[in-house]
Structure 1
């Protein structure tokens, strides 16, 4: 078996003379989390909580004492904190994970520094300038330390920058063109995060990060295509539709190849939403709404049944 679960152990116990000691050892070794697992979990949890509370404390400090602080004090405190975090991460003899978390905290403080600078001197810059500068000035840290959480922040900043740029400057961009651009960008990022570690023999990115980027790309395609159905078709809609079709086909193939239920669930769910929007575009009468409800319930039921069958097949 690829993996032993509680049901397997129960079946063996009911049909054999397996001793209680043997069952206990198997449960402790295969099912229950041991001391090492709990220590690792607590270490990461406390480290994440410490960084989060520290960053929150700094933000609340500025929020409460904003009016009383001199502008040089405001900027100086943040710059000193960033410098301190970088120095500790580079020169301190500590674990690589702690160094990466410190860099993540420094990257967040870079955004705080830009926000404070803009408010102190009233630069009048557009919001996208703020996120663009934030993104550019942490790029070196992102590439050098190659930390999944830092990459997640970087990807989020990229998406926010493009969205704000489209709202504030690129007035000629349609909403569908923006969704097409965001979907294409996140799809390329996802492809890079999957292939680059394999090509250069690097440590692969965590599964949660890969799935987060994939979910972001699918969300943009789903929203874009669903909203474009209700409007007059334009080239951006068909470009998004074609790219999404290719992406979905490759995603299903990749999910079957890697035995990942994530891709086999999120992609069909996106298709169900798009098809529901297409049916709603045909008619908004009560009969069509009833038919759409039946379609959603039936399709999701079949999807769950399919996923359960694959899960049993891959677990055997």
Structure 2
């Protein structure tokens, strides 16, 4: 009985350590991504166009190279270390969106907001396919949702119809997320991957 109790306590402690490690990792990704965006915004007036683009592109390149290097070195490691390449690539994906926003803000391309998110989703898709990371796929799904919602709001329906209750726009968004959820579950079953947060988030959005 004592051995069983110690084993159970040890497994619970290990589970909590894994949870805290992953939570800290993803919190760090969100904070670093937010810090990069805020850094550019805070120094907007004092930076030239070249400095703005060089700064964001440099951070993007560093994150992408670090993700590739860690993917080769840590993918076979157990525990939280396996999540580091996906976290770095997700951070690079956030910086990719910041770079597209910087491009549109600097040169005033005249593109609609939904086009920015649509291009973000298109450019992020090869990264998600190459990395096979649940974090990058979830980021792609969220960006795709934003692009679809903005497109419906700007070109087809009003924002009030999208978020104001049941109706055709809400059904379209729900259908999109149900398709994404179905694809996620099929891929998880095909490659026998353990997924928790992705399907729950997509189901909540749907």
**What's the TM-score bracket when you normalise by the shorter of the two chains?**
0.7 to 0.9
> Retained in 1: the 8 A contact 2:114–2:150?
yes
Q: What corresponds to 1:46 in structure 2?
A: 24
5+ long unaligned stretches in structure 2 = 76-82
The answer to whether structure 1 residue 89 and structure 2 residue 67 are counterparts is yes
Q: CA deviation at 1:171?
A: 4.9
Distance 1:192 1:49, change over 3 A: closer
The aligned length equals 192
Counterpart secondary structure, 1:206: coil
> Retained in 1: the 8 A contact 2:56–2:95?
yes
Q: What corresponds to 1:65 in structure 2?
A: 43
Structure ID, larger Rg: 1
The answer to whether structure 1 residue 110 and structure 2 residue 106 are counterparts is no
> Retained in 2: the 8 A contact 1:194–1:204?
no
> Retained in 2: the 8 A contact 1:194–1:205?
no
Alpha-carbon distance in 2 for matches of 1:189, 1:62 = 33
TM-superposition CA deviations, 1:113-155 (whole Å, max 9, x none): 1111111111121110111011110001112222222222111
Give the RMSD, CA atoms, in angstroms.
2.3
> Retained in 2: the 8 A contact 1:148–1:205?
no
Alpha-carbon distance in 1 for matches of 2:180, 2:65 = 30
> Retained in 2: the 8 A contact 1:78–1:109?
yes
Q: What corresponds to 1:206 in structure 2?
A: 195
Q: What corresponds to 2:180 in structure 1?
A: 189
TM-score, normalised to structure 1's length? 0.55
Distance 1:59 1:206, change over 3 A: same
TM-superposition CA deviations, 1:207-239 (whole Å, max 9, x none): 22212212221xxxxxxxxxxxxxxxxxxxxxx
Residues 1-316 of structure 1: matches in 2 within 5 Å?
22-23=1-2, 25-31=3-9, 33=11, 36-92=14-70, 93-96=72-75, 97-171=83-157, 176-198=167-189, 200=190, 202-217=191-206
Q: What corresponds to 2:78 in structure 1?
A: none
Distance 1:44 1:196, change over 3 A: closer
Alpha-carbon distance in 1 for matches of 2:172, 2:157 = 15
> Retained in 1: the 8 A contact 2:121–2:143?
yes
Alpha-carbon distance in 2 for matches of 1:196, 1:50 = 28
TM-score, normalised to structure 2's length? 0.82
Counterpart secondary structure, 2:180: helix
Distance 1:187 1:34, change over 3 A: closer
